[in-house]
Amino acid sequence: MEHKTQRAAYQSVELKLQILECYGIEDHVHLLLSSPASLAPSDIARHLKGASSHFVNHSAHSSVLYWQDGYGVISVSPNDISFVRTYIRNQEQHHRAGSLRGDLEAC
């Protein structure tokens, strides 16, 4: 998962995104980011998924990265940023314990 997040960071600079938090498990990744108002969520998803797939699939690693067709987006108020950061950091524990938040996972 480190490769996905590393390439997402490189792509974020090009798109003028600010990645506030990023963590992934085997089958998905959660990003908390701030983006320019002029950049549509669909463009962000397309660029980040494309860049991370290219990076992993063209690296020396034997793994192949496939993304699902869709993606989920929710907006977060400034008051909730700290909570969402903590939730993202603890993805592995949430999945292991079954303590998922539907409003943050069902996108």
Convert the pLDDT of each residue in 30-80 to its tens digit.
889 998 889 899 988 888 888 777 777 777 666 777 677 888 888 889 998
Q: What is the distance between the alpha carbons of residues 50 and 8, in angstroms, rounded to a whole number?
A: 9
81: confidence class by pLDDT, cuts 50, 70, 90: very high
Percent of the chain with pLDDT over 70: 68
Out of 3.40.50.300, 3.30.70.1290, 3.50.50.60, 3.20.20.100, the CATH code matching 2-105 is 3.30.70.1290
Give residue 24's Cα distance to chain centre.
7
pLDDT at 5: 55
**Neighbouring C-alpha atoms within 13 Å toward the C-beta of 101:** 11
What are the respective helix, strand and coil percentages of the chain, to the nearest 5?
50, 15, 35
Q: Could you tell me the two tokens for 79?
A: 């008051």
Compare 94 and 90 and report the one with higher pLDDT. 90
Percent of the chain with pLDDT over 90: 6
Q: State how far Cα 41 lies from the chain centre.
A: 12
Tokens describing residue 76: 């977060």
Q: How confident is the model at residue 3 (pLDDT cuts 50, 70, 90)?
A: low
pLDDT at 79: 94
